[in-house]
A and B are shown apart, each in its own frame.
Chain A
């Protein structure tokens, strides 16, 4: 079918597999097909275009929208009802509460003349949301053909491998189809496909080539790349429009666009500034450095005592309780020389993340680090609560708030350093030098520590879904580690 091939690029083998699975209209197809692959690998697009161009009766449901069982089932049934009956008399709204009802109603709906003798396809996009719903749902959909005794095939689309779906109780195994990531050649082909009408395809292809050269290392998401391509194309055309270069003058064009794209990688790509702002910058031809991104506004202005509460919380979270006496008491006995073994232990403590601490410890540290006397007024307590609502502290364990609540400090060392900068003077109290010591240690030891960390993260992602290195920022490594990495 030449028509289909023009619409679906670089997915020939998947399309032919699906087509052979579907067979002829009246054939019984495989009861359930599970399609998975990374974001923007064409799962939804391929299925949708295939079903549409072949004009097969199908229902397409996005599971994100259906956050309850009832919504999901009703949507499927109503869409089916819409399909089966002619346009003008499909006003009845079917209500359906359980899967049992669904099976019964499904039989009724598919009895209709227009759905007879052909396979009905139900496509469940973002199928991973099904896992959070009722336990009987997934196994039920997997063997819907058998339960309803109708010619029906359920297609699941997901970004997660099938192994993560399989229920403990066992189920019918679907046909699993993998959509691999697009290679750089594929991306080039697909992106060049939608060139603007006023420029030639070759000109646009050259532009895409440059774009991929810059962005391919950090981003393989087709949607995102397309977005970037469209955003930055006016800048690329600029010399041509002005008449400074012609379309074949690739070197000149490259020199014009390359630094611009690099800047885009740091700003628009990370959503530091919005795409409309970026467009405006392009038009005005100003320096993007003038516009500060989201991350530039890291400074949080806090009341005086809130700052100290936060510092105290940080110290309580990352220092072992046994060292409190040493750091915060005036007469603490002698300080033992720490050997390397001990240092090492502390640092890995730090990398493990914050530890919960009781309220009393927080207050004790607070009293010892504030110079003046702090009265335990209601305001102090309410400040702790408001820090919790601001997500700078978190409450651990909700069982009893009256009886010794426990907290964790969720802010990073950089944040604390920014807050405490005012008091960061040589000869400052000992607890502060502790902060700097810690920082030094982390900087020293990250190189050695990092490798197992990265290994871990790689394992936790499924092996088939490789993530570009920049995306690891969502993983719970500290800011500092990323930088050294």
Chain B
């Protein structure tokens, strides 16, 4: 049995008995306090349905992204397997036969995502190549014996679930000791049975039965962690048995393929026939996930700028893990539905409209309290204001239209955002970011047109060449065309017009060229006149600087884009009722996802009031409240020491602080007894600090302990 504990010690493993299900319905956790009226059940259900949709969407996405990789892998396996089958009657095939086909699969450093990839890979191989797919992890195979044991037991399991024969289980139990010899003889017997057994399930036959003896695929999930010796020995052995045990290896590599050369000497790597396969970069993966989950009106739930920033920062700065990103997204979704009573309205538009009609009085009050709604009310005429604040029915109608507006705002928003991204993503130095997520963050945060970056981006746009501009416009047109919404139909028409104008420019330019040549033909003159006329021409060009028609048109396009941005890319804070769909509690999210254990520990010990909420513990900065827990007092005193702490001094100081507290108590106990008690308390506090890893005994001085944290003088 294994534990995940880092420390060494005894662990008790209780036998697994069936746990009785604790029958608290999950939605009850959504009841914050006793406020029943806030639709907690409905909120929970909405959360679940949205999350299910998002989850299936991400899974589908993952499948699509992996498809290419898996297809090429399967092709490789089939090809190399047919190499086995050909059995090389031709000259020289004998030597090639000794090379184990190996696929080096580079997956990137996001180790947490690999499990999912391997799981779907195993499934794909199961369906397409062979029933014998085994995956091993380095921690299971510290030596050859365990390696083979794991391999054998997994292989036999593969075979059992296919044929469900009791004999194979018996064999597995009996063969606690396994060697490659026994493995290959087992393989022979199994494939032999397959050939002769007519009662084999038809379905499997068709999928895997295209070869009489399907290959065994062994996936080594984390190649980096395997010990060199085990890997080398295994490869040497299996290459000797390759003719009777057709093995194909798949190496899961997180860093770079150089690791193969580092792990295997030339003598061993010459036994492999390695081909490289590279999975999609995780950053691209993130972009598609964001594109499908957040930059769409498909899901009503949205993230505020701060939250999105936290999630992407954790991804980019810390782990590159898509799984963690999606987990973070799920957490924010849950948190939103849990903490915001009005999140009942965070669903698709018709459903939300229906729900508004059933809102309770309390909920209406909640709506009126929303800052964005209050701002909206203040802008209205006074009669309407009164109606909104007093008449419930009127309020509900108004909220319905507001929700509709919000929906329209979002559809337009994403279209224009994508359009703007087309323009800015090709600019040199990317003033507004290369990825659409960066642009989105900026737009969420503030009015983008106020930023300097936007200014510089527009300036750069005014310098674009014609063909570049046209390709961008065509892409934008495609963006607008894909949406079925009619609101921005006129925009698409405008863009089409621009394109047509650009094209007509081409024709006109030719004419102009010829005419320009005629007028500007210089007569033959002397040097003085030539100089003079040239100067004049230069002057003329500088002063009037007549814009060509292209430049005029370009200016128009840029202004058009600018107007689009100013009209549609307003930050969501300006929209009334945005609180219902935007999750903005960035602080909670950060606390959950990017925990800082050291800081939390320090706060707990340095300022116990923060967690204990006991009024007596409240104190100003820097002084030690003498009623604080002993460990806090000891900790605070130790902060004032240098790297080595004298235990006697420390104990003295501790006693002083503590007795200052106890003077107020009755002097019933004798001083000696009290000293002993204080001494014991001190010792306990010190050993607790040692357990927490703040100090450790040192051999330099016997009556001193060493401090393990910084900050000493």
Contact = CB atoms under 8 A, between A and B. Distances in A.
Interface of A: 39, 62, 64-68, 70-71, 75, 196-197, 221, 223-224, 226-227, 230, 233, 270-271, 274-277, 294-295, 297-306, 360, 364, 375-380, 382-383, 386, 389-392, 401-404, 471, 474
B696 interface: yes
Contact of A391 (B7, B83, B225, B261): B225
A271 B270 contact: yes
Interface in B280-339: 281-283, 314-320
Given A301-B109, A389-B224, A474-B265, A64 B236 contact: yes
A294 B274 contact: yes
A421 to B, nearest CB: 16
- Interface centre among B181, B274, B314, B320, by most A CB within 10 Å? B274
A360 B694 CA distance: 13
A276 B272 CA distance: 11
B95 interface: yes
Interface stretch (B164-172, B190-198, B593-601): B593-601
Nearest to A391: B224
Given A298-B256, A304-B316, A378 B594 contact: yes
Contact of B693 (A274, A294, A376, A402): A402
A66 B267 contact: no
Contact of B317 (A196, A294, A305): A305
B179 interface: yes
Contacts of A294: 104, 257-258, 260-261, 274, 276
A378 B257 contact: no
Interface residues of B, number: 70
Interface string B594-611: 111111000000000000
Contacts of B594: 375, 377-379
Contacts, number: 162
A298 B240 contact: no
A187 to B, nearest CB: 16
A68 B91 contact: no
A383 B257 contact: no
Nearest to A374: B317
Contact of B266 (A227, A233, A306, A474): A474
A108 to B, nearest CB: 22
24 contacts: A64-B233, A65-B240, A196-B91, A223-B270, A230-B91, A271-B261, A271-B274, A275-B96, A275-B273, A276-B273, A294-B261, A297-B106, A298-B258, A301-B282, A302-B320, A306-B109, A380-B318, A382-B319, A383-B318, A386-B109, A389-B224, A390-B254, A391-B224, A403-B696
A75 B185 CA distance: 14
A65 B237 contact: yes
Interface string B564-598: 00000000000000000000000000000011111
A360 B706 CA distance: 14
Given A390-B254, A391-B259, A474-B265, 16 more contacts: A227-B270, A271-B266, A271-B269, A274-B99, A276-B83, A276-B96, A276-B101, A294-B257, A294-B260, A297-B258, A300-B256, A301-B320, A378-B597, A390-B224, A391-B225, A401-B6
Interface in B1-21: 6-7
A390 B696 CA distance: 31
B39 to A, nearest CB: 35
Contacts of A64: 233, 236-237
Contacts of A66: 179
A304 B143 contact: no
Contacts of B95: 223, 226-227, 230
Contact of B109 (A230, A302, A379): A302
Contact of A300 (B91, B255, B282, B316): B255
Contacts of B91: 196-197, 230
